[in-house]
Structure 1
Amino acid sequence: MCGIYGSTIAYTKHQVQDKLERTKFRGPDKLDFKFLGNEVNPVIFGHNRLAIVDIDERSNQPFTYNKTIHIVFNGEVYNFKVLKEQLETKGYSFHTTSDTEVMCAAYMAYGEDCVYHFDGMFAFVIYDETKQKLFGARDRLGKKPFYYFLKDKQFEFASQLSSIQMHHEHLTISNKAISYYLAWGAVPDPHSIFNEIKKLQPGHCFSLNLNNYDFKERVYWDIDTENKKPYQGDYKEAVSELDDLVKNAVSTRLFADVPVGIFLSGGVDSSVVAALATQTTSSKVKTFSVKFNEKGFDESLYAQQVADHLKTDHHIIECNYNEGLDLIDTFSHYYDEPFADSSAIPSMLLAKHTRKQVTVALSGDGGDESFIGYERYKWMKQVNHLYNLPNFIRNTVAKTAGLAPYYKLKMIGKGLEYDDINSLYIASVTGVNMSWLKSDFDYTDVPEKKYLFHSNKNLYERLTDFDIKTYLNWDINTKVDRATMAYSLEARAPLMDHSVVEFAQSLPTDFKYNGKIQKRILKDVLYQYVPENIFDRPKAGFTMPFAEWFKNELKDYVLSELDMVSLKQIPNIDADEVYKMIQQHMDGSWNRYPLIWKLLVLKQWLNTNGKGYTIK
């Protein structure tokens, strides 16, 4: 796990050093860069290394293989040992025990098709000196970030936007990206907060001819929206196969030359990972969870129950108010684009204290999307029945619910005004009542809608496909990458192994969501190792008590940061309406904390990163 950087722009050594120092937290073990290429085609590769596999300096990057293949790589290729054996039979030799060297040999053996052979999380660029081209890729599910700038004969890429931003002229802040952020809580791929900087999308690779700067991007992996290979076995067989798949995904992710632990929230997903980890290693597994003192936010008791049953070496990290407040002040340094998921703060606290004992941590990310786990899927199932009613009946229900004094009923009434269930789902994610957002374009019109607006699959399969391409990528992956890398901790997600995701997509819906049981098959894998009664409780999210803090400890902070003068300086919002909504939160009539947090983050980013830039 590292930070990568590269450019064909003729920066000085001092400027390159600055760019790498800005994201040194991603890889504090070794900072290095090389001026490759020549006067006609200059190429600079830089790297911040967090040593995980083959921690010897021989595997430092930028790495050169066979004198002409150079690479900078962030992530892990978990099947590199098997791939290495295959390449050795083809005559390739190796001088390290790293996956980095194997990737170079795989490129030489398979060319751009090497990406099909990589099982892992990665963002990399290879400079092929002989062919005078750059080839790069981002992993299938988008675990690792990749930003790039391309204009004329200038190409620059990095793990984080701030590295490109430094010493870069002519960048402008995207007004469109601000609207996207205010709606989705993150800037969706392929956009960034700057008009001139883009993100390479998950499952995409590219090549850049350095002689004529012809840039070609293509998709090498995507979701099967037609379900061409449905699962043929019965439920019992599926449970056994999923057990094997996840067990293998966990086992490969436990491999490292540094200490490894597991994030354990006490929920189904992280408990599956922890349980199968105890089945695949003889070492005592270290687990970590967060504890909050505020009532209704402390899930550490459930994590402790799971840890006690599995006999893990469990550590509870107590989150206190002052430490959380400190992270708010430095938030935009690590999340160098506006990012509104407030669970990023407890994620950072968890990473900060976990890093004191391990360098790698496994998480349960991806389980809800693949196995129909979110509460909103249950809600959509209930509301969908209303969309089967004649329009006049649905309109009557909508008007009646809209007049009710209860927030949830009002939102249901507002939601039923949408023409179809797909549009309602997007509104439920972005916000059913968005009258406060002033945008001159349709911020819900994203290319990923194609995974939702089709008839090849049922509603629930389409919802999860859409969330894999949007929420999992734009939000979860961003949150976890920045939170963990802020403290030089590598996060690995077994349930996001593409073989697990593809298997889940092939299953009949009732294997995953049967009656009232969500994540049915994943739970049945878990219950082989941990008693079911431990999980007999409502699903909990990973969040902080911001709603209460904003009315109490942080009230003065919120009111000073988001007074009317400040609100009028924030682009694309109706300041008067937002001000009323903030007052509603303070008097307890409405819970507006998501909006308050979203605006605080944007304001902080504009104050610290946006000065001197034109918004257009």
Structure 2
Amino acid sequence: MCGICGVIHLDGAPVAKATLQAMNDTLFHRGPDDAGYHLADHIGLAMRRLSIIDVAGSPQPLYNEDQQVTVVFNGEIYNFQALRQQLTAKGHTFRTGGDGETIAHLYEDHSTDAPKHLRGQFAFAAWDAAQEKLLLACDRMGQKPIYYYYDAQTFVFASEIKALLRHPRVPRQSILDDPHNLALYLSYGYIPAPQTAFKHIHALQPGHTLLLNAATGKIGVQPYWQPPQIAPADRSAQAADWVPQIREALLEAVRLRLIADVPLGAFLSGGLDSSLIVALMQRETNHTVKTFSIGFAGEDSFDETIYARQVADYLGTDHTAFIVEPHAMDLLPKLVWHYDAPFADSSAIPTFLVSELTRQHVTVALTGDGGDELFAGYDRFYAATLVQKLGMIPRPLWQMASGLLGALPEGTGYANRLKRAGRFVRGASQPLAYAYFDWVRLFDAEQVQQLTQQRDIGGAHFAGFIGGDPDLSAILYANMTTYLPDDLLIKADRCSMAASLEARAPFMDHELVELAARVPLNLKLNGRNTKYILKEVARGLLPDAIIDRKKHGFGAPLGAWLRQDSGLVRDVLLSQQARQRGLLSMPAVEKLITEHESGQRDHGYRLWALLTLETWYHLFVDAPQPVMP
């Protein structure tokens, strides 16, 4: 993995090496092994390298034969060996033994269609000096992000926004000053792409390219791949017809991600997805796989290390379990710095910690990310079918039940039944699109209105995205194209790269994604049995007790932590600076804190969202220049 950045001055002004170097230095954590630069009058490209393949060679930037095409590249191309053979047969000459040089030669042959030939996780920039054009590309699933700023004089891009902000022409203006955008953030817990937290800075979306004509100053953004539609149910479908091809596709995806010239391991939570990946890794290597898990001392309901140990013992891995007692408030500024944005997903805490600790042992770690999205692994998918079946129950009855449950005190444990029941009943009183969004949203519509005086912006946004009369297939598709790239994959990229660790997700192989989409829906969600077909794929590879164990999300005991640190929470959220900012209704914020302190409600995740918001303003907007805390 690497960090890349670049500048094109459309007004012809030369790019200062000092500016490009400042941008590149900001990305040091993404690539501590090497740095490279290409400067030519009004264009500058740079990268930081984390050496994985061809460690001693493959310095970037990379070039074609006549050096008219220059490439900086972040990621891994898993089919690079086959591509090299094809390109060599066509007469191309390679200078390095790595994967990235294939991009320069592919661009020669295929121009803007080059990304279609790549299998992997990547973001790259290719500068065509002869045509004075720049091509940016993001991989199909959005595993490797790329951001850009554009005006009449300047085009700037980078793997992380903080690098863009080092360019003096890039402004730092928050979109969250607008209550509409603030309401979206509070609803989703992140800022939906292609927007970012900054005005005029955009994310290039998964499966898209951006072509800049430096001579005319015009840009065009186009998809080169579309996420596959989700197949509906087929009652005649048999699991036995699908298990062999899914297992083979997943095995191939794992095999490709074992290519590395550095130590390699895997995250192992003890759940189905990561356990299955490790089982296949163990089959494909002659070495004992190193596996890593994390738990929190004193919080048994969030601790899966016992299950990870069971899987490790069964498979014979070299397993390390990290048990930590972090202070959430100490981690807050570090996480916000690495995300460049308010980001409410508190599972970033254990992901960040396990990445830091894993990096002490290996440079690459395979993960189970994406299994739930491909194979309907969340209980909320079953809840959606249940709501449809219970459609004859009048909504006023659901609303009455929701009010009764809402009056009862909530605990902070992981599987608190009262919280789960309350959330289900509240959602069940609404149309399906709004019901589903209510189960995943952070602040409900009433809380958003109390905080921002905005009506249900988030619910309307999601319902508009998903369409008029959704079914479960549409909901699965929406989950795969919103929550997966904008939350889970951003989290995986930021937390692993913060530790200079390369994370690889076999479930995100686009050929496996396309295959999974064709699997009939009833083989994914079989009654209330989530991920049914994937469980059948795992039979014989893992113990049934692991396969059939109830799903446990990867989280942190945030509610309990923030009750212990409630004084610090008040200091941040009710500070004079926060009041003067005027973003939120202070009485509504104080109500959330008081309800959480008293044990009436568990607002841990919501308070964390507000803490990341205020900390982001402090680090990125208030400060004269963003500086790592």
The 3-state SS of whatever aligns with 1:256 is coil
Secondary structure of 2:451's counterpart equals coil
* CA shift in 2, pair 1:583/1:71, >3 Å: same
Give the aligned partner of residue 82 of structure 2. Answer: 82
What corresponds to 1:92 in structure 2? 92
Alpha-carbon distance in structure 2 between the residues aligned to 1:585 and 1:196: 37
Say if 1:71 and 1:231 are closer, same or farther in 2 by CA, change over 3 A: farther
Which residue identity does 1:125 align to in structure 2?
A: A
Structure 2, unaligned runs of 5 or more: 409-417
For residues 137-186 of structure 1, give each alpha carbon's deviation from its aligned partner in whole angstroms, at most 9, with x where no partner exists: 10011001110001013100000000001243443211344433222111
- 1:605 maps onto 2:604 in alignment: no
Task: Say which is worse superposed, 230-239 or 502-511, in terms of deviation.
Answer: 230-239
| Cα contact 2:437–2:462 (8 A) shared by 1 | no
Q: Take 1:171 and 1:570, find their aligned partners in 2: how far apart are those partners? A: 16
> How far apart, CA to CA, are the structure 1 residues paired with 2:132 and 2:333?
44
- Match in the other structure for 1:497: 509
Measured on the aligned residues, the alpha-carbon RMSD in Å equals 2.4
The alignment status of 1:266 with 2:270, answered yes or no, reads yes
Q: Counterpart in 2 of 1:33?
A: 37
Q: Given the alignment, which residue of 487, 490, 493 partners 1:475?
A: 487
Q: Secondary structure of the equivalent of 2:450?
A: coil
1:321 is matched with 326
Aligned-pair identity (%): 35
Q: How many angstroms apart in 2 are the aligned matches of 1:118 and 1:313? A: 33
Give the direction of change, closer, same or farther, for the CA distance of 1:446–1:187 in structure 2 (3 Å limit).
farther
- 2:202 is paired with a residue whose SS is strand
Amino acid at match of 1:173: S
Aligned residue in 2 for 1:332: 336
Correspondence list, 1:354-433, <5 A:
354-386=358-390, 388-389=391-392, 393-404=394-405, 405-406=407-408, 408=419, 411-412=423-424, 414-418=426-430, 420-430=431-441, 431-432=443-444, 433=446
Is residue 596 from structure 1 mapped to residue 595 from structure 2 by the alignment?
no
Q: How far apart in 2 are the matches of 1:578 and 1:72?
A: 45
Paired with 2:512 and 2:465, the residues of 1 have a C-alpha distance of: 19
Q: How has the CA–CA distance of structure 1 residues 243 and 411 changed in structure 2, closer, same or farther, with 3 Å as cutoff?
A: closer
The separation in 2 between residues aligned to 1:372 and 1:228, in whole angstroms, is: 13
Partner of 1:188: 192
Answering whether residue 564 of structure 2 is matched by residue 560 of structure 1, we say: no
Q: Cα offset for 1:95?
A: 2.0
- 1:23-67, CA deviations, whole angstroms, 9 ceiling, x for partnerless residues? 20010011222212x4xxx1100101111111124x111222221
1:565 CA displacement: 4.0
Cα distance in 2 for partners of 1:497, 1:508 equals 19
Normalising by structure 2, report the TM-score.
0.91
Relative to the length of structure 1, the TM-score reads: 0.92
Task: Give runs of aligned pairs for residues 195-344 of structure 1, distance below 5 A.
Answer: 195-225=199-229, 227=231, 234-293=238-297, 294-322=299-327, 325-344=329-348
Deviation of the 1:230 alpha carbon? 9.1
Q: Sort the Cα spacing of 1:107 and 1:571 in 2 relative to 1 into closer, same or farther, 3 A.
A: farther
Cα gap change, 1:219/1:400 in structure 2, threshold over 3 Å: closer, same or farther? same
Farther-moved stretch of structure 1 (294-303 vs 247-256) = 294-303
Q: Is the 8 A contact 1:71 1:126 kept in 2?
A: yes
Q: Are the counterparts in 2 of residues 266 and 300 from structure 1 also a CA contact under 8 Å?
A: yes
Once the two structures are superposed, the pairs formed by residues 43-122 of structure 1 within 5 Å of their partners are 43-57=43-57, 59-66=58-65, 67-122=67-122
> Which sections of structure 1, spanning at least 5 residues, go unmatched?
none
Measure how far apart 1:451 and its partner are.
6.1
3-state secondary structure, aligned to 1:122:
strand
SS for the counterpart of 1:109 is helix
Once residues 440 and 624 of structure 2 are traced to their aligned partners in structure 1, the CA distance between those partners, rounded to angstroms, is 30
Offset, 1:246:
0.3
What does the per-residue CA deviation read over 1:270-312, in whole Å, with 9 as the maximum and x for residues that have no partner? 0111011111111211111112212212100100111111111
Q: Size of the alignment, in residue pairs?
A: 601
Contact 1:4 1:74 in 2 (8 A): yes
Post-superposition CA distance 1:524-553 (Å, at most 9, x none): 11122111113443321111111111112x
Partner of 1:518: 530
Aligned AA (1:140): R
SS of the residue corresponding to residue 339 of structure 1 reads coil
CA contact (8 A) 1:73 1:124 kept: yes
Q: Is contact 1:265–1:303 with CA below 8 Å preserved after alignment?
A: yes
* Alpha carbons of structure 1 residues 225 and 242: separation in structure 2 relative to 1, 3 Å: closer
